[in-house]
Structure 1
Amino acid sequence: MTAPVSPEQIEALFTRSDGSFVCARWGRPVVPIVFGVEDRTLMTLKGAIEAVVVLADHKMAETDPELGANLMMFFCRDWEELLGVPDLDRLIDGLAPLVQKLSESGANQYRVFRFDQAGAIRACFVFLRMDAELSQLPAATLALGQAAQSILLWSDRAFTESSPLGLLDGQAVLKPEIAAVIRAAYDPVLPAVAHDPSHALRIYARMQAQ
């Protein structure tokens, strides 16, 4: 995707494959927890999450009063491993069928969002199967990409053909247009959730004001 210079390009980032439009941001501070990685990688992951949260001018916290942690990232070598995670089936409805679906499709990542009564993001569960493709990525690149895709409810098609990341002096960074959309979507004058495509016009306007 080139730098979005029109509301239509922004609208496409939040228009799902069924044609519906929805843009939602976090309605509470982000509290991350990561499973299945070494301590060194853990620090890289949390650092990337914090960087994206700061970019959005949102907040992080030590604990979530409802869930303890509300951004949960699970790393595994095989999807079947998720079935052995204690109490995960209580957090994810239909975990067994989901694992079967992911295994059959050959997917290497999947995200599940939960929302509060107003429709803002309440929790996000990120599942990553470290296949050959993901294993080749530097930890910082993988972390930044997942953080970017978890900070907003993007379309299921938003990044299928183009990563939210680019390279600057050999280092992975958020593409400027994606960073600008994130900042604008978190502008306090905008609602936390919107289902009308005209919301893209409002994000566009905030981007011009940045």
Structure 2
Amino acid sequence: MSLPPETVERLFTRADGRFLLARWGRPLAPVVFGVEPETVAVLKGAFEAVCALTGHQMTETDPELGANLMVFFCRDWRELLDVPNLDRLVDGLAPLVERLEAAEANQYRVFRFDEAGAIRACFAFVRVDAHIEAVPAETLALNQAVQAMLLWSDAAFRDASPLAVANGVAVLRPDVAAVMHAAYDPVLPAVSHDPAHAHRVAARTGGVQ
């Protein structure tokens, strides 16, 4: 059964009332910093899974950036200030670190866009606090992959995770999976600021159960 357009619209309507849905305009070239090789493999497996769901592609190297999806794990936000050249990739890194510290946040994502408005890069930051440490690596990886694949609203998953638990294993919620699959329909534009776009996405959500 297709999702109602209002459900899709809520997922991409930001707190200030603006609608914006953007997907990747190029293959993902992910790289992960700050964790053991086993966890890197789990994360890359999660990215492969969401690419399989959406029909999007992965690649070893982005011709412009080398890696265009970077995931950084740290114990303290200030560790980001010591990452070589990160301040050149993320504008306003120092003030961002201060805001994350003040908010006691444990994750944050920065997106960059191409001239058409499609996603060209994503920098995901995860501070390993007690809550993150208690989350299984597979769950954490799938959550990061889902939230990096589309420019969701800043309030989309504030009250409910995009994941659910089935037989003790974290899985993607069927409604979220349906939206992701539909949003990557090649017939649809890679970016839209028009709330009417939610109707076009919703009409395609019946393809994933």
TM-score category, normalised to shorter length: over 0.9
Query: Please, which of 1, 6, 9 is the counterpart of residue 8 of structure 1?
Result: 6
Which ranges of 4 or more aligned residues in structure 1 deviate by more than 4 Å?
none
Q: Does 1:181 align with 2:184?
A: no
TM-score by length of 2: 0.97
Report how far residue 53 of structure 1 moved. Answer: 1.0
Any stretches of 5+ residues in structure 1 without a counterpart?
Answer: none
Question: Aligned residue pairs: how many?
Answer: 208
Q: Partner of 1:112: helix, strand, or coil?
A: strand
1:131 to 1:209, Cα distance in 2 relative to 1, 3 A: closer
**Deviations, residues 142-184 of structure 1 (Å, cap 9, x unaligned):** 0000100000000000001100000111111000000000000
Query: Please, which of 38, 58, 61 is the counterpart of residue 60 of structure 1?
Result: 58
**Deviations, residues 93-148 of structure 1 (Å, cap 9, x unaligned):** 11001001100110000000000000000000000000011110000000000100
Which amino acid is 2:18 matched to? Answer: S
CA distance in 1, matches of 2:189, 2:43: 28
Q: Does 1:134 align with 2:127?
A: no
Q: Which residue of 1 aligns with 2:45?
A: 47
Report how far residue 65 of structure 1 moved. Answer: 0.5
1:4, 1:10 within 8 Å by CA — same for their partners in 2? no
Q: How does 1:1-210 map to 2 (within 5 A)?
A: 5-208=3-206
Report how far residue 209 of structure 1 moved. Answer: 5.1
Report how far residue 4 of structure 1 moved. Answer: 7.5
CA distance in 1, matches of 2:87, 2:3: 43
1:55, 1:179 within 8 Å by CA — same for their partners in 2? yes
Over the aligned positions, Cα root-mean-square deviation in angstroms equals 1.1
TM-score by length of 1: 0.97
* Identity %, equivalent residues: 64
1:72, 1:124 within 8 Å by CA — same for their partners in 2? yes
CA distance in 2, matches of 1:74, 1:154: 20
Report how far residue 5 of structure 1 moved. Answer: 3.2
Q: Partner of 1:83: helix, strand, or coil?
A: helix
CA distance in 2, matches of 1:154, 1:104: 23
Q: Partner of 1:60: helix, strand, or coil?
A: coil
2:178, 2:207 within 8 Å by CA — same for their partners in 1? no
1:41 to 1:209, Cα distance in 2 relative to 1, 3 A: closer
